[in-house]
């Protein structure tokens, strides 16, 4: 049977590749204590401005990124309390490892990710994860960082993009994502809970409306992003009430 309307994307294995095909899954072999990371989205690209760099003993660098407004949904309460409201972006083995039990993670690996300076505007591509030890959300491991000279979200390759309406809010049994025109390429919808855990990931192509069952989700606030190719069409929140 041909699946025509909605494809629920599989996101539960770290090593199965990403929605956009931009992330290097081989980097996970060099993540120190990878068991502590919960993968929310296997591959994302975010934009923002570098706030600070912290050189860690395990050889990684914690880049605190002031994300542009469409990516605020990626921050949770621990990002605000422990990281000054910044998103942590972590290139692997980017400096000398001085932590004995982490040396093996960097052995035979050379970092090729560009390390930006404080104040630079960048695009960061990597896996969107939650650090279960510290609680905050991160891009970890980082596959690529490039300088972004544009202000705000990068819009690439699309001249006319559909508008998105999300309703009802609050939702009870379902929430609708509605486009005002037929998309020319797939539209991806990602939903996360208030602490950054992935609650669902969907694709639209041959329909104008996606009706998502919310009965299985706990009551509370949820964040969503709607993307088409490299462009963010809409981002925001909705509540689920019981």
Average pLDDT of the residues in 4-30: 53
DSSP state of 171: B
| 3-state secondary structure at position 74 | helix
pLDDT class of 150 with cuts at 50, 70, 90: low
Task: Report pTM.
Answer: 0.58
With a cut of 90, say whether residue 169 has pLDDT above it.
yes
CA distance 101 to 58: 8
The angle subtended at Cα 152 by Cα 10 and Cα 229, nearest 5°, is 35
For the chain, which residues make up each domain, given as ranges? 14-147, 155-240
Residue closest to 43 by CA, chosen among 8, 9, 94, 3: 9
169, two tokens = 């809010």
Residue closest to 204 by CA, chosen among 159, 168, 169, 166: 166
Strand partners, 204: 6, 187
Say which residue, 150 or 116, is predicted with more confidence: 116
> Buried b / exposed e across 117-140, counting CB within 10 Å, b at 16+?
eeeebbbbbbbbbbbeeebbbbbb
Long-range own/partner contacts, residues 28-34 (CB < 8 A, 24 or more apart): 28/141, 30/92, 30/93, 30/105, 30/106, 30/109, 30/141, 31/92, 31/105, 31/140, 31/141, 32/58, 32/59, 32/60, 32/99, 32/102, 32/105
Return the CATH architecture of domain 155-240.
Sandwich (2.60)
Strand 209-213: give its sheet, edge to edge. 164-167, 174-179, 209-213
pLDDT digit string, tens, across residues 76-134: 999 999 999 999 999 999 998 999 999 999 999 999 999 988 998 889 999 999 999 99
With a cut of 90, say whether residue 54 has pLDDT above it.
yes
Query: What CATH superfamily is the domain 14-147?
Result: Nucleic acid-binding proteins (2.40.50.140)
Decide if 162 contacts 231 (C-beta within 8 A).
no
Res 236: pLDDT? 85
Residue closest to 73 by CA, chosen among 201, 206, 195, 211: 195
Say which residue, 115 or 154, is predicted with more confidence: 115
Res 220: pLDDT? 92
DSSP state of 35: G
With a cut of 70, say whether residue 228 has pLDDT above it.
yes
Cβ atoms within 10 Å, residue 186: 14
Res 65: pLDDT? 97
Average pLDDT of the residues in 6-30: 54
Decide if 118 contacts 53 (C-beta within 8 A).
yes
């Amino acid at each position: 049977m041909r699946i025509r309307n909605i494809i629920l994307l599989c996101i539960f294995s770290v090593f199965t590749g990403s929605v956009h095909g931009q992330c290097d899954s081989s980097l996970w072999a060099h993540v120190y204590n990878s068991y502590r990371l919960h993968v929310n989205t296997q591959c994302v690209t975010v934009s923002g401005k570098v706030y600070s760099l912290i050189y860690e003993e395990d050889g990684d660098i914690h880049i605190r990124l002031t994300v542009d407004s469409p990516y605020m949904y990626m921050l949770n309460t621990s990002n605000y309390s422990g990281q000054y409201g910044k998103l942590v972006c972590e290139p692997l083995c980017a400096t000398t490892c001085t932590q004995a039990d982490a040396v093996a993670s960097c052995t035979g690996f050379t970092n090729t990710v560009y390390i930006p300076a404080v104040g630079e505007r960048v695009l960061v591509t990597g896996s969107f994860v939650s650090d279960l030890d510290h609680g905050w959300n991160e891009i970890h491991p980082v596959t690529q960082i490039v300088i972004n000279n544009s202000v705000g979200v990068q819009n690439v390759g699309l001249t006319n993009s559909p508008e998105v309406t999300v309703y009802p809010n609050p939702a009870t049994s379902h929430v609708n994502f509605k486009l005002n025109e037929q998309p020319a390429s797939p539209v991806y919808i990602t939903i996360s809970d208030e602490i950054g855990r992935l609650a669902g990931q969907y694709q639209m192509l041959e329909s104008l409306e996606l009706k998502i069952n919310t009965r299985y989700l706990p009551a509370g606030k949820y964040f969503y992003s709607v993307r088409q190719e490299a462009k963010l069409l809409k981002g925001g929140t909705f509540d689920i009430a019981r």
